[in-house]
Amino acid sequence: MYNQVRAMGSHIRYSPLPSEEQNAFSVKTGKFSLPKITRLKCIGLVFIILVTVGLVMMSCLRSGYFSKSAVCNTTKEKTVFDDQESKSSDRMRIHHMKRRLPQCIIIGARKAGTRALLTYLNIHPDIVVKGPEMHFFDDDESYQQSLEWYRKQMPYTYPDQLTIEKTPAYFTEEDVPERVYRMNKTIKLLLLLRDPVERTVSDYVQLAEGKKARNKPIEKFEDHVIDSHGNINRSYKAVKRSIYHKHLSRWLEFFPLNQIFIIESQELVADPASVMYDVENFLEVSHKIKPGNFYFNKTKGFYCIQTDDQQKCLTESKGRTHPAVDPDVIRKLRKYFTPHNRKLYKLIGHEFDWAES
């Protein structure tokens, strides 16, 4: 339809015939008008772009991709405990995230609720937890791997997030306080303490379950805790772990008491929201863990957590039923622990509601 083509330098310009005024980029009143077919194409192109962007955004929202992608990530990543380790490869690609040494450690005590505390802390958006116990400071072979190796085992975090790991064996091992101090003398420490008689029985139950799983013979609790003379077996590890003042005294050689937040485990069981509020104060993070995040599970007999995207109870291995123990053995244990408990109270300036002899 075009019969005139003139070259002007590197540009090519087309001139329409006079009879083709309605089909060309003709000049009308000093303005260019697009043919109808071109306007429709532009409108269609814009529509396709908008639909594509909308579909991408919906896909991000539905798949949780906002928490993993540098493209979709417009808010801070919130990690979930169950799949935190499996997502580490994704977090490697997110700008500003890296592995950091923990700023807080749950040091114990064993069978006093450390797993529950870690699980509750994990719903806080400013806290990222290391799920599996590390046993870095209490195991000589692991400790020889260096702090750099230890750091690389931690989860990825943003600069304003706290990294927390827990290993309850740390509390009772002699070399651990000094090793932790060498890493970070200002680190915050969380310590849970449980009625020593209950903790001793619970410790036995866990060890017995392990033997049962390996088809090994299981002795009664009384046979472990009472020696041949009818006295408390002071060499039994479950008993030794419950003499709290001896273990805490070693920690206080390196850390002031105000760096150690002590939680009575029954308080955590009975009123987790109130305890977590105090823990948030100690860690100097905003109050994000609310009473509504907890609901009581009558079947299990303790509180579970719920958020907008998850509900989680502790595993079946938690809250095991204790065996019936000879009442005379319980009385002997209470009599044995009473003076040790009083030394603990004097050390920390606070008393717990633990039964005495």
HSE-up of 351 (CA within 13 Å, CB side)?
A: 7
Nearest to 224 by CA among 210, 244, 245, 205: 205
Q: Is 78 within 8 Å of 128 (Cβ atoms)?
A: no
- Write down the H helix ranges in 214-271: 221-225, 237-240, 244-252, 265-270
CA–CA separation, 120 vs 291, rounded Å?
A: 11
Nearest to 154 by CA among 132, 176, 134, 130: 130
SS3 assignment, position 318: coil
Give just the sign of the alpha carbon dihedral 173, 174, 175, 176. positive
Q: Which residues, in sequence order, are bridge partners of residue 11?
A: 8
Rounded alpha-carbon distances, angstroms, from residue 334 to 60, 199, 202, 235, 327: 58, 12, 15, 17, 11
Q: What are 198-212's pLDDT values in tens digits? A: 999 999 998 888 887
Q: How confident is residue 56, by pLDDT bands cut at 50, 70 and 90?
A: low
Q: Which residues, in sequence order, are bridge partners of residue 192?
A: 263
SS3 assignment, position 188: strand
Comparing 292 with 357, the larger pLDDT belongs to: 292
Strand order in the sheet with 127-130: 127-130, 162-166, 104-108, 188-193, 260-264
> What is residue 50's predicted lDDT score, i.e. its pLDDT?
82
Q: What are 285-302's pLDDT values in tens digits? A: 999 999 999 998 887 778
Parallel, antiparallel or unpaired: strands 311-312 and 294-297: unpaired
The position carrying tokens 């532009």 is 42
Q: Could you give the angle at the alpha carbon of 301 between the alpha carbons of 218 and 114, nearest 5°? A: 70
Q: How large is the average pLDDT for residues 49-69? A: 59
Residue 109 preceded by cis peptide, ω within 30: yes
Instruction: Read off the tokens for 87.
Output: 């997502």
Q: Could you give the angle at the alpha carbon of 226 between the alpha carbons of 223 and 229, nearest 5°? A: 115
Q: Is the pLDDT of residue 277 over 50?
A: yes
The position carrying tokens 């799949």 is 83
User: CA Rg, the chain, in Å?
Assistant: 32
> What is residue 214's predicted lDDT score, i.e. its pLDDT?
85
Say which DSSP state 66 is in. Answer: G
The position carrying tokens 């003398």 is 185
Q: What are 128-150's pLDDT values in tens digits? A: 999 899 999 999 999 999 999 99
The position carrying tokens 């260019």 is 32
Nearest to 276 by CA among 168, 121, 125, 165: 121
Q: Is 37 within 8 Å of 25 (Cβ atoms)?
A: no
Nearest to 290 by CA among 307, 273, 309, 266: 273
> What is residue 300's predicted lDDT score, i.e. its pLDDT?
74
CA–CA separation, 138 vs 173, rounded Å?
A: 6
The pTM of the full predicted model, rounded to 2 decimals, is: 0.73
> What is residue 67's predicted lDDT score, i.e. its pLDDT?
40
> What is residue 6's predicted lDDT score, i.e. its pLDDT?
35
Rounded alpha-carbon distances, angstroms, from residue 209 to 206, 242, 317: 5, 20, 9
> What is residue 21's predicted lDDT score, i.e. its pLDDT?
43
CA–CA separation, 186 vs 22, rounded Å?
A: 81
Q: Find the distance separating the first CA and the last CA of the chain, reported in whole Å.
A: 110
Instruction: Read off the tokens for 53.
Output: 């962007």
> What is residue 316's predicted lDDT score, i.e. its pLDDT?
58
